[in-house]
Structure 1
Amino acid sequence: MADANAARRPSGELEASVLAALWAAGGRALTPADVQRDLGMELARTTVTTILARLYEKGSVSRTRAGRGYAYLPVQDSPGLAARRMRSELDKSAQDDRGTVLARFVSGLGPDDEALLRALLAEEPGGDDGGRGA
């Protein structure tokens, strides 16, 4: 049983691979068969279909009818998806813990990331609220 667990992929690896294939398609919607072919992996089409369905349920991809099935497109690029995941984790925290969560996140940044964050916060594009609101 330990050998079977050792052969398992890390959590999220298949989703990441499928998203990478969709991003590489350059805006062209892909069917599960297309993704399976593009990945060049020994994955069953049903596995690819399940991964795409889960990504759709999470809001990471959109889909349109393609014959009897669907063709999929990513809803965001890689940086946009990472930002959305970070926001989702922040939103899971209790409202009174939000400041603590952000403070701990920032305190864990390296000097280069901290400087980049400070520069981004100083930009305040387009007269909005500096990224603090909706």
Structure 2
Amino acid sequence: MRKEPARRAPGALEAEVLGVLWRAEEPLSPADVQARLEDDLAYTTVVTILTRLHDKGMATREKHGRSFRYHAVDDEAGLAARKMTKVLDGEPDRGSVLARFVTQLSDADEALLRDLLRGRK
């Protein structure tokens, strides 16, 4: 009996491709990304993922011959901050969301946030 490969969690392929882009020192072609991935993904799958990352504003691309080269827009911390901002932008009562968020922080994270708001790090 043939086993089906385990399904990936939503966003897992995008995360893998972003990881490759984050580690690169220069923009990469889809073939470069495909070669650096641990999984054996089809070229067309890599192109689709890179296109989606570009459409979401998570990667830039520049024309290179007949193809594109891609580069991540943000590092991991920047991406997390973008996601948090997107959630806030979708809420009608930002104050309540922020208040709830702050009440759920650990003491150490709350102190860090206070320092950051005061311009200290």
Aligned-pair CA distance for 1:40: 2.7
Q: Within the alignment, does 1:111 sit opposite 2:110 as a pair?
A: no
The unaligned stretches of length 5 or more in structure 2 are: none
Give the distance between the partners of 1:22 and 1:78, measured in 2 at CA. 11
Identical amino acids, percent of aligned pairs: 53
Match of 1:19 in 2: 18
Match of 1:129 in 2: none
Match of 1:79 in 2: 77
Match of 1:101 in 2: 97
Match of 1:51 in 2: 49
Give the distance between the partners of 1:21 and 1:75, measured in 2 at CA. 13
Give the distance between the partners of 2:113 and 2:44, measured in 1 at CA. 42
> What is the TM-score when the length of structure 2 is the normalising length?
0.90
Deviations 1:7-62 (A, max 9, x none): 11111111111111011012x01011101111131111111110100000000111
Match of 1:130 in 2: none
Match of 1:132 in 2: none
Give the distance between the partners of 1:76 and 1:35, measured in 2 at CA. 17
Aligned-pair CA distance for 1:108: 1.6
SS of corresponding position for 2:71? strand
Give the distance between the partners of 1:83 and 1:57, measured in 2 at CA. 18
- How many residues align structurally? 119
> What is the TM-score when the length of structure 1 is the normalising length?
0.82
TM-align CA RMSD? 1.9
The unaligned stretches of length 5 or more in structure 1 are: 125-134
Runs of 4+ in 1 over 4 A off after TM superposition: none
The AA in structure 1 aligned to 2:36 is D
Give the distance between the partners of 1:56 and 1:112, measured in 2 at CA. 36
The AA in structure 1 aligned to 2:94 is R
